[in-house]
Structure 1
């Protein structure tokens, strides 16, 4: 029995099929961890969702920004973007089932036995693992509550751009969500810079990749993440595993076997 973590699929079904063949995935014994952004931008979001939904009992899922965006569009709280590929998914007869499944997704998954933690974008340097787990759970509870539409309607925006314990309601949910699903660059104190999507070496003045801060409180925790295609799967930091290898942009789709940290890829 093996566990494989897979980076951003973003509606790319053929590379996903190739990757699962390459790792000889056996749904009777193996388990998949999906690092968010299952859908959108790629050509086959509906096919990907249908396939993964059937395997949902063998999948651990953290939500990415595109997955949350789909929920907002599905509830009529956001218009689809010009580059979105969500129409077939929204029109599918199983759409309500897909929505219900995504609402059970996590912002952070931690497995103490395997000693791995998975998020979509990252964990800010000022949070230790226990705090990150607790704050992720706050939003996860909202996703499954009667406050879902309030959350989705106010999820977008770059302010507040730094964590403050006294934040409440929509502002608190938004900054937690931005850390877990949108973050790339930040300061050591956790101030976010959410516009730049370049390589790690091209950080804006005063900012570093979230994983590059020397005082980061989770530097001894093994963290799997996706989201940052420009890294090309190379975070160049101990205990940090970047799995978004730009499949939807013509790169590759990547999986890591947790038991031995072996990497598998299929071209896209």
Structure 2
């Protein structure tokens, strides 16, 4: 039995099948963790979503920004953009079943036994794992509740960009969501800079990748994340106890799978069919 974690799939279904075949993945024996962004931009979002859904208890996922964007489009609070590749899901006969399941997935998954957390973008330096799980639960409660469409309508935007425990309502939930699903660069106080998407060397003055802050409160927890393709799977030093899994498959690079126990990396760059 092995546990694997995979980077942003984004509808690249055939690369997903390729990399799982390379490790002889068996849903009956193995576990698969997915760091979010199951769908969008790639050609086979529906097949990807259906496959992950059918894995059932063999799979753990966290929501990424593209997964939330799918929910927003499906419930009429955002337009379907030209670059989106979600039409197959939106017109599928099982769309409601799939979207209901997706809406009930977490923003952060924590394996307490191994002190290991999975999140799409990251955990801001000012939050411990305990605080991160509590903040994630705030969003999850609303997203899974009767007012979820109101949440989806209010989650877009870059402000506020710094945590303050006095924040309330939609601004509070928007910032929490941005930390977990959109963050790359921030300063030591957790103030977000959301426009920069390049490599760490291209970051704006005064900001660092979230995982490089020396006083990061979750530094003793192993963190698995995606979202940041420009990292190319590298976080400069594994001593930071963080592992980047998004290696830009949807942009023509490759899909990365890591064995959680051994840290062995398997990749696939097979052609999209």
Q: What is the TM-score of this pair, normalised by structure 2?
A: 0.97
C-alpha RMSD of the superposition:
0.8
Q: What whole-Å deviation, never above 9, does each CA across 1:215-268 have from its counterpart, x for those lacking one?
A: 111111100000000000001242000000000001110111111111111115
Deviations 1:73-117 (A, max 9, x none): 000000011110000110000100111111111110110113210
Q: CA deviation at 1:141?
A: 1.0
Per the alignment, residue 25 of structure 1 pairs with 25
Displacement over 6 Å in runs of 4+? none
Match of 1:202 in 2: 202
Unaligned runs of 5+ in 2: none
Q: Which residue of 2 aligns with 1:3?
A: 3
Query: Quick check: 170-179 or 253-262, which moved more?
Result: 253-262
Say if 2:254 is the partner of 1:252: yes
Whole-angstrom CA distance in 1 between matches of 2:246 and 2:15: 13
Flag structure 1 segments of 5+ consecutive residues without an equivalent: none
Give CA-to-partner distance per residue, 1:190-221, whole Å, 9 cap, x none.
00000010001111011110011111111111
CA distance in 2, matches of 1:56, 1:143: 20
CA deviation profile, 1:161-189 (whole Å, cap 9, x unmatched) = 01110111101110000000000000000
Say yes or no: does 1:48 pair with 2:48: yes
Q: Helix, strand or coil for the counterpart of 1:67?
A: helix
How many angstroms apart in 2 are the aligned matches of 1:172 and 1:48?
Answer: 32
1:241 to 237, 243, 246: 243
Matched residues in 2 for 1:166 and 1:98: separation? Answer: 35
Distance in 1 separating the partners of 2:242 and 2:122: 10
Tell me the equivalent position of 1:171: 171
> Which digits, 9 at most, give the CA deviation of each residue in 1:92-145, with x for residues without a partner?
001001111111111101101132100000000111111001101111111110
Structure 1 partner of 2:142: 142
CA distance in 1, matches of 2:77, 2:203: 33
SS in 2 for 1:16: helix
User: 1:192 — aligned with what?
Assistant: 192
The DSSP-based 3-state class of the residue aligned with 2:121 is coil
- TM-score in terms of structure 1 length: 0.98
| Residue equivalent to 1:151 | 151
Rounded Cα–Cα distance in structure 1 between residues aligned with 2:103 and 2:43: 23
| Pairwise CA distance, 1:23 | 1.3
The answer for the alignment partner of 1:15 in structure 2 is 15
